[in-house]
């Protein structure tokens, strides 16, 4: 009974921490958008960039547009990434949208270079904090994960193509000079996110050792729709034959995977390694290895 209470208390504490950091990250990202980028007609990539262009053209509230455009992607994530990730993402988007209204009308600088550099740095910090705590502000990343499995291209390729169209739109609306500043902002934010998360955009190779490896393997295939490989070995101390699970997954699937494993075996050993380059058919299209 005490272990159960301790587990619930730890779970509640972790939830409060995530809510706190998601709130901080969303507010920091909103400050970057409305204090540095919007006043200088510099945009971000993805859903936020699309929202900024639409807000400029229609005169509608940027926060509301961000929520409306993200909503279909959040619904899509329910079937692919689990309730926990979706709720945390929805919370982060709501706080971000509200914070946009708080920072609106308070420009930090009118210097384009300063706005580009500091906007990118501050935005990268905010988004990095959110992603580090299993949330997201960008629905295109969710869509890219789904379509990459269905159509056979990488997540990075999809995001790159999407952003090419977004920045072309920014060039038409704001001028090509502003579009180039926008691309520089995105590059800076991208690098800062890497620093905050330590290789956030890399895939992860995961090795799982458990006495319930078959149950875990089935659950991962059914719930995450990923391919796994069983590796056979022997315990060095016990001499007992063991079956290890090996797989490569995206960082967005990482949190969900841990939850699935812990539900089946609290004592499972999980080893996670960043993968900066990976090649093979499973990474290109949805087949099993």
State pLDDT tens for residues 116-165.
999 999 999 999 899 888 888 887 777 776 676 666 666 666 777 888 89
Q: Is the pLDDT of residue 281 over 60?
A: no
Task: Pick the closest to residue 260 from 212, 216, 198, 209 (CA basis).
Answer: 216
Structural domain total, the chain: 2
Range with the largest mean pLDDT of 6-10, 139-143, 241-245: 241-245
Same domain, 114 and 228: no
pLDDT for 19-76, tens place per residue? 999 999 999 999 999 999 999 999 988 889 999 999 999 989 999 999 999 888 888 7
Same domain, residue pair 190 and 216: no
Distances in whole angstroms, Cα of residue 149 to Cα of each of 144, 152, 255, 258 = 9, 6, 19, 21
pLDDT > 70: what percent of the chain?
87
Which of 144, 179, 197 marks a domain boundary? 197
Domain assignment of residue 289, yes or no = no
pLDDT of the residue at 251: 76
191 and 61 in one domain?
yes
166 with 244, same domain? no
Helix, strand, coil % in the chain, rounded to nearest 5: 70, 10, 20
| Burial class of 222 by CB neighbour count within 10 A (0 to 12, 13 to 18, 19+) | exposed
Q: Which CATH number does the domain housing residue 220 bear? A: 3.30.70.120
**Statement to judge: residues 191 and 230 lie in one domain:** no
DSSP state letter for 39: G
Instruction: Inform me whether the pLDDT recorded for 194 exceeds 80.
Output: no
Q: Output the pLDDT for position 242.
A: 83
Same domain, 237 and 186: no
pLDDT value of position 284: 47
CA-based max dimension of the chain: 69
Residue ending a domain, among 181, 197, 213, is: 197
Measured CA to CA in angstroms, residue 258 lies from 5, 184, 229, 251, 266 at distances of 21, 35, 17, 11, 10
Sequence length of the chain is 289
Angle formed at CA 148 by CA 119 and CA 179, multiple of 5 degrees: 30
Residue 214: Cβ within 10 Å count: 12
Range of the domain at 175: 2-197
**Average pLDDT, stretch 256-275?**
88
CA distance 170 to 203: 30
Q: Are residues 8 and 79 in the same domain?
A: yes
The domain boundary, picked from 166, 197, 228, lies at: 197
pLDDT value at residue 74:
83
- The predicted pLDDT at position 92 comes to 92
252 contacts 200 by C-beta, under 8 angstroms: no
pTM of the model: 0.69
CA–CA–CA angle 261, 267, 269 (5° rounding): 70
pLDDT-derived band at 2, boundaries 50, 70, 90: low
Please choose, from the candidates 175, 178, 163, 132, the residue with its C-alpha nearest in 3D space to the C-alpha of residue 47: 163
Q: What angle do CA 100, 109, 64 make, to 5 degrees?
A: 15
């Amino acid at each position: 009974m005490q272990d159960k209470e301790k587990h619930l208390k730890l779970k509640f504490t972790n939830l409060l921490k995530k809510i706190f950091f998601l709130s901080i990250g969303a507010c920091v990202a909103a400050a970057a958008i409305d204090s540095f980028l919007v006043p200088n007609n510099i945009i971000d990539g993805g859903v936020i960039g699309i929202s900024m262009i639409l807000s400029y053209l229609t005169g509608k509230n940027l926060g509301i547009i961000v929520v409306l455009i993200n909503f279909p992607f959040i619904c899509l994530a329910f079937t692919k990434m689990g309730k926990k990730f979706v709720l945390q993402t929805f919370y982060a988007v709501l706080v971000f949208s509200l914070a946009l209204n708080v920072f609106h009308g308070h420009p930090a600088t009118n210097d384009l270079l300063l706005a580009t550099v500091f906007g990118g740095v501050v935005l990268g910090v905010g988004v990095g904090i959110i992603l580090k705590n299993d949330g997201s502000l960008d629905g295109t990343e969710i869509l890219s994960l789904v379509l990459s499995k269905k159509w056979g291209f990488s997540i990075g390729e999809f995001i790159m193509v999407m952003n090419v169209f977004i920045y072309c739109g920014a060039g038409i609306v704001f001028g090509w000079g502003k579009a180039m500043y926008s691309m520089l902002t995105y590059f800076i934010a991208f690098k800062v996110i890497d620093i905050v998360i330590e290789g956030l955009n890399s895939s992860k190779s995961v090795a799982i050792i458990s006495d319930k490896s078959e149950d875990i393997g089935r659950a991962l295939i059914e719930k995450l729709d990923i391919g796994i490989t069983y590796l056979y070995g022997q315990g060095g101390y016990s001499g007992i034959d063991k079956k290890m699970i090996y797989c490569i997954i995206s960082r967005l699937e990482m949190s969900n995977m841990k939850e699935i494993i812990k539900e089946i075996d609290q004592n499972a050993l999980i080893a996670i390694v960043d993968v900066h380059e990976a090649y093979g058919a499973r990474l290109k299209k949805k087949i099993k290895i």
